[in-house]
Structures are given as structure tokens and as C-alpha cells.
Structure 1
Amino acid sequence: MQWITIFQKELVENVRNVKWVWVPLVMILIASLDPISNYYLPQIIDAVGGMPEGTEIKLPEFKPADIIMMSLSQISSIGVLVIALMSMGTIAGERKSGVSELILVKPVSYANYITAKWASVLLLALIATGLGILASWYYVNILFGELSFDMLLKIIVFYGLWIILVVSLSIFYNTLVKIPGLVAFLTIATILLMKAVTTVFAHLLEWSPNNISRYIHEMIVFGNIPSELTGTSIITAAMVIILLVASIFIFKTKEMAD
């Protein structure tokens, strides 16, 4: 009951802050942008005055897999930024204002407090991301060719693991610092650092969470789940668990010290 009460409180708070409106809308917009813009690019060029006489531009023939990956790339950049911004004050804001102290004066479990907030942010992030991918899939099927619904579900499941990791990182930094803006900065900086390390040590870090999108592309092209994607998913899930446990420990230690 304690966990459910905190979880419901967070859901109501997100509704009041209109996060259940603007976060899904932003995700749908950024995921739909590439399918629509790439298909109508010739018309867009003509509408803005065309090209100089004699100029020839040969646009590549995009396949459904290429376009859906463009959408995932947009979510991995702009979408992740949106998630970091909308979750940066989940715990840090309450710690800074003293609200968390008032809540924890009651016999509230630190684990319940952290995991309920994590679950509320995660629910919003996953639904918003799922709607964005669904919108992209819809336009891909209309404009570029068929991509099966079964493949759509696999994309959402595996890419969802990456979103879960991003949310877990944000919650971890929420317990570490009290400044929401710093939480967002540290979350994005960590993701960029992970990407850089994965690029430099690609031969050693084949199962890095940053490779999920690449393996999803292979899954779409070849039609089966690569073993690398399975391994990467296991590592990502393990990192999520470690981050959650660390978040609870750090939060408990800091609150007891205060």
C-alpha cells in the first residue's frame, strides 16, 4: 500500500504538470519527422524555390529499416534529452525543497520511495517512446514499405531497455545531488561518455548498452534476434538493477546523515 500510494502521488503530479501531454507529443513529433520529411523532400525543395538549373540531386532509396532507425536516432538524442529534463527534479527537487524529509518522517521505506518514483517516470517515458515509435512505424508502412507489427513490438521491447537505463541513470543522479539542472547535465554527460568509450573500445565492449540501436537494425534487416542483442540486453538489465540498488543505498545514507 505504501508503494502504491507514492506511485499514485507521482502519477497525479505528472498529470498536473501536463507531462502526460507534452512528453508523448514531443516523442511523436521527433519520431515522425524523418519518415515524413524524407518522403516529401523533393516537394519541399520545389516549394522553397527548387535548385539552380542543371543541378541534379539523386536522393537515396530508403528502406523501411533505414527510416525507422532514423526515428530511433532522433529519440536517442532529442528524446533522451526530453526524458532527462522531465525527470531531473523527481527526487532532487523534493530533496532541495525539503518535501522528501516530510515524507520520510513517516515510516516510509527508502526502497519504496525510490522505486515508486522510478516506476512513475519509467511508465511515462516508455509510453511516450512507444507512441513515438508507433507513429514512425505508421508512416514508414504508408510511405516506404511494410514493416511487420511483430517487428515493431520487438523494436519497442529492446529499445525500451535503453529508455529504462536512461531513466535509472536520472534517478541515480537524483539521489546524488539536489540541483535538478545538474541531474540532467550529469545524465546526458554520462550517456555521451558511455558512447565515446564504446566507440573507442568497440572491440571490447560489443555488449555495451550504446550498441542496442545497431543490433536492433541488424534484427530488422535479417529478421531474427542477433546474439549480440541478447547479450547487450542482459548487460543493460544488470546495469539498471545496479543503479537502482545504488540509488536506494546512496539516498538512505544521505538522508540518515542529514
Structure 2
Amino acid sequence: MNQWLTLLQKETLEMWRNFKWIWVPITFILLGVKEPLTAYYMPQILDAVGGLPEGAVIQIPTPSAAEVLISGLGQYTTLGVLIIVLTTMGIIAAERKSGVAAMILVKPVSFQSFITAKWAGSALLMWVSFFIGYLATWYYTGLLFEWVPFDQFLQTFFFYGLWLTVILTITVFCSASLASPGMAGFISLAAAIVISLVSSTLSNWLEWSPAQLTTYGNEVLINQGISDQTLPAGILAVICIIILLSLSVFIFRKKELAA
């Protein structure tokens, strides 16, 4: 356990040195405040841009607080996913390529501790950044529109965070399996897009898909209730995370021992 905590401390310190603990939360905050501010000031923005016929009246229906929050959460499942993949795709592949991984594994460090500590460090960064960013979305939505109950905020935060963790774990798996960080990032993004598209298209057959957690999170805001399919989808997401981490350790061990 002490070995694992030491490796986790190394990961968090490395992210401080790379300024990830600064620019990733700031980026998530910017994503978070953009949607409520844009929704509130849209008539003024359109009026300032101009180009409308003389005498035209801009009438934009005021969105509900739930709609603004859902729109803001959409930023995290698009640009947020891209940020997560970009910050994680080289977490193992880059260290293997540079020889750092070999130097660490020469010591009495288990492959399992090496992989899981890296995953935990990235997951901690993701959860903290997402919480700060989504909290900014919730705060500005309440300030400009109306306040959404904080328990609904926490529920949607957890559902979306669990899906983002699945994507992060897919990226860690690709980084452990491939030598190129760029290829790992590309395949991770492609996998996230395919899973999301298939789950949304075949939603009636794939109700337990981890990608459906975002839909169930939206239902919490719209219907103020949790779907019956949320728990199975959450359990399947945790199972996928465990399986992907186990495969990451297995494949990385095989590659390192073969080398």
C-alpha cells in the first residue's frame, strides 16, 4: 500500500510540474460558465452582432435552469472528453517510449501498482476539475436563471463523472496497449464516439450502457427523478472500469516482459 501511495504521490506531483492541476480545472471552469452566460446574454449578443433586417425584433424563449445545465453538461461530454483524452493518452505510452517506465519497473514495483496509480492520479484530476467546472455551471445558472436543488446537482455530477471515468479508463487501456500516444488518443476518442452513438441510436436495447448515464443524469434535471435503469448502467460502468484496468495491467506486463 505504501508503494502504491508513493506512486500516486509521484503522479500528482508530476501533474503539478506539468501545470495540469492549473490549466485543466481552469479549462473546465471556462466550459462551465460559458453556457449559462451565453444563454442569458444571447439577445444582446445577436443585437451587437447585427446583420438583422431593420425593425426586426429578437424573441428568444428563456430556457429553464434544467435546460441550461443540460446544455452545459454537454460541453463536458464533447470538449471535456477531448481534454481528458489529451491529458491521459501519453500517461503510459509516453513513459514507455522515453524509458521512464522501464527505470521505475526495475525497482520492486508491481505492474498493477504502476498502472492503477497512474489511473487514480488522472481520475482524481478529472473528478476535481469536473466538480469545479460543473459547480460553476450550477452557480451561474442559479444566479442568472433559477436555482436547481443541490441534490440534483450532486446526482448528475456523479452520473456524468462515472461515464467520464469510463472514457478515461479506455484511454489508459489504449495507452498501455499502444506505443504511440497519438494513436492511443485517436482510438480512445473513436471508441467514445462509437459507444455514445450506438447507445443513443439503440437506446431501447442498450438501456444498461454506461453511455446512457448522461441521459439518466439529464432525466434527473428534467423529471426530478432517477430512472430504474440508472443503477444497472452504473454497475456495468464500474465493471467495465475494473475489466479495462485488469486488461491494461495484463497487456502492459506482457509487452514489458517481452521487451
After TM superposition, the score normalised by the length of structure 1 is 0.96
Name the counterpart of 1:11. 12
- Matched residue, 1:32: 33
Aligned residue for 2:221? 220
Q: Where do 1:1-258 residues align within 5 Å?
A: 1-49=2-50, 51-258=52-259
What secondary structure does 2:50 align onto? coil
Aligned length: 258
Regions of 4+ moved over 6 Å: none
**Amino acid across the alignment from 2:253:** K
Q: Give, in angstroms, the shift of residue 56 of structure 1.
A: 3.6
For 2:204 and 2:42, the matched residues in 1 are separated by 37
Separation in 1, partners of 2:198, 2:117:
32
Query: In 2, distance between residues paired with 1:154 and 1:204?
Result: 24
Unpaired runs of at least 5, structure 1: none
TM-superposed CA distance for 1:131, in Å, is 0.7
Rounded to whole Å, the distance in 2 between the matches of 1:65 and 1:213 is 14
Contact 1:69/1:213 (<8 A) preserved: no
Distance 1:179 1:169 in 2: 15
Structure 2 unaligned spans of 5+: none
* Aligned-pair CA distance for 1:143: 0.9
1: CA distance, partners of 2:161 / 2:58: 37
How far, CA to CA, are the matches of 2:217 and 2:65 in structure 1?
13
Query: Percentage identity across aligned positions?
Result: 41
Instruction: Give the aligned residue type for 2:103.
Output: L
* More displaced 10-residue stretch of structure 1: 198-207 or 66-75: 198-207
Partners of 1:168 and 1:244 within 8 A in 2: yes
Give, in whole Å, the separation in 2 of the partners of 1:101 and 1:135.
41
Aligned equivalents of 1:201 and 1:68: distance in 2?
25
CA contact 2:43–2:58 (8 Å) conserved in 1: no
Quote the offset at 1:50 in angstroms: 6.2
CA distance in 2, matches of 1:17, 1:52: 50
Preserved contact between residue 173 and residue 187 of structure 1 (Cα < 8 Å): yes
Return the alpha-carbon distance in structure 2 between the equivalents of residues 58 and 207 of structure 1: 40
Superposed CA RMSD in Å reads 1.3
CA–CA distance in 2 between the matches of 1:10 and 1:257? 26
SS at match of 1:102: helix
In 2, distance between residues paired with 1:171 and 1:45?
Answer: 42
The one-letter amino acid paired with 2:172 is I
Q: Distance in 2 between matches of 1:133 and 1:51?
A: 34
